[in-house]
Amino acid sequence: MSEGQQDMEQFRLFDQPEDRLRRMTSGQWPSHDRFPYTAGGRRVEEAVLGDLHAAHRPLIITGYAALDELIPFLAKAGPAADDIRLLLGSEPYPAQRAHVSASEWTYSEEMMEYWLERGISLRLSGTIVSVIDLLRSGKVRARFVEGVRLHAKMYCTEKAATLGSSNFSASGLRGQLEANARFVASDQRHQEAWQLAERYWERGEDFNEQLIALLEQLLRLVEWQEAIARAAAELLDGEWAQAYIEQQLMPMDAPLWPSQRQGIAQALWLLDTVGSVLVADATGSGKTRMGAHLIRATFDRIWSSGRARKGRPIMVCPPAVVDAWEREASLCNLPLKSYSHGTLSHAGSSRRDDATEALRRSQILAVDEAHNFLNLASNRTRLLLGNMADHTALFTATPLNRGVSDLLRLADMLGADNLSAQTLKMFETLLRSNKLDRSLTEDEFNAHREEIQTFTVRRTKATLNRLVDQSPDSFLDGAGNRCRFPRHQPLTYALAESDEDRAIAREIRGLAAQLRGLSYLVKPIEMPQVLRGPGGMTEQQYLDARLKSAARLPAYLVMATLRSSWVALMEHLRGTQWAQQYVPAAKHVRKNATGDVLGRLKACAGQPPTNKLSIPLPSWLSDEKEHAKACEEEIGIYTEIGRLANKLSPGRQDAKADKLAALAKKHAHIVAFDSRPITLADMRSRLERRGVDSVVATGSERGGRDHVTQSFRPGAEAADREAMVALCSDSMSEGINLQSASCVFLLDMPSVIRIAEQRVGRIDRMDSPHKEIEAWWPEDAPEFALRTDERFIERYEQVEALLGSNLPLPEYIQGRSERDDARVKPLDMAREVEESLNDSGWDGIEDAFAPVRNLVLGSEAIIGEALYESTRGVSATVLSRVSLVRSEHPWAFFCIRGSSSGAPKWLLFDSPVATPVTSLATVCEGLRARLGPDAESGDLDEGAQQLLDTFLGRLHDAEKRLLPRKKQRALDELVLVVHVYQREASEAQQQEKADFYGRLIELVERPREDEVPDWNDLAERWLDLIRPAWYSELAQRKRNRPLLLKDLYKPLTSGSHRLTFEAISQAMKGLKLTSPIEERVAACIIGVRQ
């Protein structure tokens, strides 16, 4: 083996170039003074810099890629030298690019493009200012050779001239093998080399002004307001992501709306920064098209990284919108595989088996109307949570259906490993539960809601309409018409109940208040463990709360069905089959049997629930005879309610039918909603008698659903038809576009803002052809009307699930009395809906970017809106903006520039030793506390530069914290697992393996500033490596809690999924390095001591 081969044999996967060059000591080497080289501890820079620093009139010829090394040299040598000449040549690698333009492409433009794309380290802030001064004073003169490529590398001084392969760059001076010759002044070749350099200098053109302009573009000292504006534009405008969007569109395609482009960029930011995204834009904002392009952009980013696996992106959506998703996917050439909600629900079907396998293979999982997957007891939710996707995108305009439990399930779907450690710890018990066994405290609820907010893109109607007003001609539909949310006119209609009907309703409400809820107290009575212990409830407190809850909820159901219709109440009392037998219209409803509370009471009478408490239950709930007696009393109450209901006149239903018939003369298409399908069937027969064409559309009525979807679709022409009324259940209130209708009619009063939003949202859409729409609300008499306590009950938890569980209602609901209840006024509810659509929403979940937006827009902005608007879309004008403000204590804010390889990031350091803050909300709070009218600018003196250097060192250390938490945890688990492998290799005296593992650990824990791995690439390689173990654990374990990365530690270290040395070393080959993070700063603000 030759000496050179012996040197090469020492190279290892993670060796640094300097380590390899330093080991090149064997053999005979020439004089370093005559042939400057880098090897065996010697460096080219020893000779070159030594000559240049001693020179008075040096001439430097080098490639433009050396600019970042030239700047500190010029700043240091310039004041002492009389005249420094700098001739910049071209570089070989950009020649591969082809530039086709009307004007001639110049090499100086090539240089500008190179540096504006790459960026420059903020560590050079002070020296850049000095070099600009030297260029302006003429002490440094710069030229550039145009028309022909200059590739010479020459360093001429009075003492010596060096020429060869070494560029004036870090790699050329000290980082790679070079070949150079150095001629001292006494050598004839010194004069000849200088003569050649002079001829090249004469060929050059003056470049001082262009170089000054480039340096000012690379880095500029600005006021803090401009730094904030640039940082905000990086996040909110998403220019960094536009390349992924543009390549999806064909010339003939309708352009994406600016709001959709912005939403895609913000969603990509969340996928890149927090790992998953919840898109919760206002209903009707074009989420389907935006979502298809978002998935396509994510798909393209995966392919560009070389990490694509088998498995297409998966979309899970309601059956009514499968075609819409597939159509949009086709238009942007996205290989999307769609599965309906129902497919995932039908256990045993081959289609479901296909979906199961697809979910475990797909790298991208998207779920439309994701709030339908928040019940962990359902088959489809359990199947969905068994996915192995790298990226999850959830779409819903109403992220919280039922409050607390939805927060927990949303977190699970977004990826438990992406949650904060605090949140995981706080809700560990609840995340493992099959059902929510207790309500959260206010602090717990708020903490979890804030966690969900960090994943959320949510623009309200008001926000979207403001975007439209900024550029109305950019919001066009397929026919070229301008798009904007229509004016929303809420109106009420009277039901004119007779005095007799109102008296009956008052009596029914009184009887319902006497119900104990025995038909729902059939499961064992047991106190959830989470309610026990310090600060919890006593068993007696729990039992009292449980019985109060059972008593209030049945009363709600009686009144809710009564408001819908007489036939709906009778169905609740006696069941669907009874209703179909005695009510002709009900025979047209094809649905699963429901109701029959009387039948359930008869079946459970005398069979009290098992008592799992240590205290006794009331006799009516424990003694068989007493229980049978109590059930008979309850049956008697329900029977009397039915008898009274039979005395009601048809006046309420006729009033609804008459109003619909009148509206049909004004509106060609009307969408009417009721929560009970059987009521819709009754209404159809009433409209038929009035000569009004109508169709019933429910979740189980495929024909009617398809008819409505086709007839009320966007662009449907109704001028030649008779008026049509679509009678819809709430299964038609989501995911379907019915905007050809100009009127929505509520047959019953929704008890939840969410349902009202969804109903109105079928026609209240950006691409509505109508300038104004009407929404009609029922003005129920007080005896029938929805009351505030009933709203609380419905909103707190899904009623049927609640009645069958051991969950007590919150105290504020339990303690309400009949006297406290106030009637819900329809226009108040309509106002709440409109405020919800134009504000943050009833659930309080804001957009993740709201804190940033509020810094630069609106009444709470800390900078002028005009400054922000002037900064938008001009990211290339100045690459890095640096601001210094006076402060009592040092602090720093950084915005990392977005690029094709990553999204922009924000960080805040409270001090030079503090842990960096990356949460947008917390960073914005910190900026508000430090910046304002009294903030004074600081100077970039030596102390400020040293402080900046200190914070840049902290920025390097903090770069891993910019990854999504799942990837941070993946790297943590990598270290833990590889530590085990290293220890085992050492014990087995397998030194090569032990060294490899040790270097891998060192790379993760202590990377060098000049050899930083691409953390995202490294984390994804590890996740791909452990994927078989992940898949196996998902397949084997019962899915009653999230599978976390830490759960794989045992299978990977002592189980059947240990990784081989060969597999790990192969996975790490070609690991990407990243440019220093200080070269990617778009804006920073440094707080310097006063």
Report pLDDT for 433: 43
Residue 548 in any domain: the answer is yes
The backbone torsions φ and ψ at residue 370, rounded to the nearest 5 degrees and listed phi first, read: -65, -20
3-state DSSP call for residue 549? Answer: helix
**Which pLDDT value is given to residue 790?**
64
Q: Which pLDDT does position 462 carry in this prediction?
A: 84
Q: What is the pLDDT of residue 1052?
A: 94
* Range 469-497 average pLDDT: 89
Calpha distance 790→675 (Å, rounded): 15
CA neighbor of 1082 nearest in space, from 24, 65, 120: 120
C-alpha torsion 376→380→381→385, nearest 10: 130
Least confident residue range of 287-301, 570-584, 944-958: 570-584
CATH number at residue 323: 3.40.50.10810
The mean pLDDT of 940-965, rounded to a whole number, is 90
Output the pLDDT for position 235: 87
User: Which H/E stretch holds residue 417?
Assistant: none
* Same domain assignment for residues 444 and 487: no
Residue 917 DSSP symbol: B
Mean pLDDT of 302-316: 73
pTM: 0.77
Q: What is the mean pLDDT of residues 1025-1042?
A: 73
Is 490 found in the same domain as 432? no
Distance CA 614, CA 101 (A): 85
Residue 35: give its domain's CATH number: 3.30.870.10
Report CA-CA distances (Å) from 922 to 6, 622, 906, 928. Answer: 54, 54, 10, 10
Per the structure block, which two tokens stand in for 109?
Answer: 């433009």
In this prediction, residue 108 carries a pLDDT of 76
What pLDDT sits at residue 100?
43
Closest by alpha carbon to 228, among 1006, 1005, 872?
Answer: 872
- CATH number, position 724: 3.40.50.300
Phi, psi of 402 (to 5 degrees): -130, 20
Picking from 50-64, 206-220, 301-315, 358-372, which range would have the lowest pLDDT averaged per residue? 301-315
More confident residue, 1045 or 536: 1045
**Which are the contacts of 768, defined by CB distance < 8 A and separation ≥ 6?**
284, 485, 486, 739
* 50, 184: one domain: yes
Please determine, for residue 801, whether its predicted confidence score (pLDDT) is greater than 50: no
Q: How many domains does the chain have?
A: 5
Q: pLDDT digits over 980-997, tens only?
A: 999 999 999 999 999 999
Other residues' Cβ atoms within 10 Å of the Cβ of residue 884: 26
| Dist. CA 814–CA 489, nearest whole Å | 36
Higher pLDDT, 265 or 405: 265
Q: What is the pLDDT of residue 709?
A: 83
3-class DSSP state of 671: strand
Is 202 a domain residue? yes
Question: How confident is the model at residue 533, as a pLDDT?
Answer: 65
**Residues 59 and 130 occupy one common structural domain:** yes
Using a 10 angstrom Cβ sphere, with 0-12 exposed, 13-18 middle and 19 or more buried, the burial of residue 995 is: middle
Q: What pLDDT, on the 0 to 100 scale, is given for residue 408?
A: 59
**Residue 219 pLDDT more than 50?**
yes
- Token pair in block for residue 197: 């350099």
Whether residue 905 is found in the same domain as residue 1052: yes
Assign 518 a pLDDT band (cuts: 50, 70, 90): very high
The structure tokens 């256990």 sit at: 347
8 lies in some domain: no
d(CA 637, CA 173): 94
**pLDDT at position 420, please?**
79
Q: What is the pLDDT of residue 71?
A: 93
CA distance 1065 to 107: 42
Does residue 2 fall inside a structural domain?
no
Do 763 and 658 sit in the same domain of this protein? yes
* Residues 532, 659 share a domain: no
| Residue 230, C-beta contacts closer than 8 angstroms, at least 6 positions apart | 871, 875, 878, 881, 895, 1082, 1083
3-state class (DSSP) for residue 713: coil
Q: Specify whether 209 is located in the same domain as 94.
A: yes
Nearest-angstrom CA–CA distance, 1051 and 30: 56
Domain that holds residue 283: 275-460
Give the whole-angstrom CA distance, residue 881 versus residue 222.
6
Higher model confidence: residue 90 or residue 558?
558
pLDDT: is 413 or 805 the higher one? 413
22 found inside a domain: no
Distance CA 733, CA 740 (A): 15
Nearest-10 Cα torsion for 299, 303, 308, 313: 10
Over the stretch 816-874, which tens digit does the pLDDT of each residue have?
444 445 677 777 777 776 666 666 544 556 678 889 999 998 889 999 888 888 777 55
The confidence score (pLDDT) of residue 811 equals 43
pLDDT digit string, tens, across residues 697-742: 887 667 788 888 888 877 665 444 678 999 999 888 877 888 899 9
| HEC secondary structure over 303-345 | HHCCCCCCCCCEEEECHHHHHHHHHHHHHCCCCCEEEEHHHHH
Mean pLDDT of 1037-1052: 77
- Mean pLDDT over residues 539-547, rounded? 86
Are the beta carbons of 647 and 562 closer than 8 angstroms? no
Burial of 1063 (0-12, 13-18, 19+ CB in 10 A): exposed
Q: Is 470 domain-assigned?
A: no
Inside any domain, residue 16:
no
Helix (H) or strand (E) holding 596: none
- What confidence score (pLDDT) does residue 1058 get? 93
Q: Indicate if 626 and 656 belong to the same structural domain.
A: no
Percentage above 70 pLDDT, the chain: 81
For the purposes of burial, counting CB atoms within 10 Å of the CB of 347, is it exposed (0-12), middle (13-18) or buried (19 or more)?
exposed
**242 pLDDT more than 90:** no
Q: Quick one: how far is CA 250 from the chain centroid?
A: 27
Alpha-carbon distance 307 to 764, whole Å?
A: 41
In this structure, are 363 and 444 located in the same domain? yes
* AA identity, residue 173: L
472 occurs within a structural domain: no
Q: What is the pLDDT of residue 105?
A: 57
Q: Within this chain, do residues 912 and 993 fall inside the same structural domain, yes or no? A: yes
pLDDT at 529 (0 to 100): 67
Over the chain, what is the mean pLDDT? 82
CA angle, residues 24, 25, 27, in degrees to nearest 5: 105
What was the pLDDT predicted at 591?
Answer: 61
Q: State the DSSP H helix or E strand holding residue 779, giving kind and residue range, or none if neither.
A: strand 772-779
Same domain for 179 and 231, yes or no, is: no
